[in-house]
Amino acid sequence: MDKVDSKFTLVHLAAKRAREINGYYEQLGEGLGKYVPPLVASSSNKPLSIALDEIAERKIEGVEPRAEQVDDPLDAVPSGDESA
């Protein structure tokens, strides 16, 4: 728990990384290379345990997303009636 700021962050980060590890093992024979392999040697073969080991060893960290400030979301959409 001392590696993250809250239990929610720990659960969210571990679940997301476990899905990535699971995806890595599923695509292993295909040679796609879309996912990062496990970053630690773990005594367990379970993706969630490997993810928690990675968090404990600070191999991965959670980063808070930055929301871009937009006053009106429709300002970014062209109206189509503008003539150039």
Closest by alpha carbon to 56, among 34, 79, 43, 40? Answer: 40
Q: Return d(Cα 53, Cα 7) in angstroms, integer.
A: 16
DSSP code, position 40: S
Over residues 1-59, the pLDDT tens digits come to: 666 778 888 888 899 999 999 998 888 877 677 888 888 998 888 999 999 999 989 88
Domain boundaries, the chain: 7-56
Hey, how many other C-beta atoms are within 10 angstroms of the C-beta on 60?
18
Q: Return d(Cα 11, Cα 25) in angstroms, integer.
A: 21
26 in helix, strand or coil?
Answer: helix
**Do residues 47 and 14 lie in contact, with contact meaning Cβ atoms separated by under 8 Å?**
no
pLDDT of amino acid 8: 86
What type of residue sits at position 65?
P
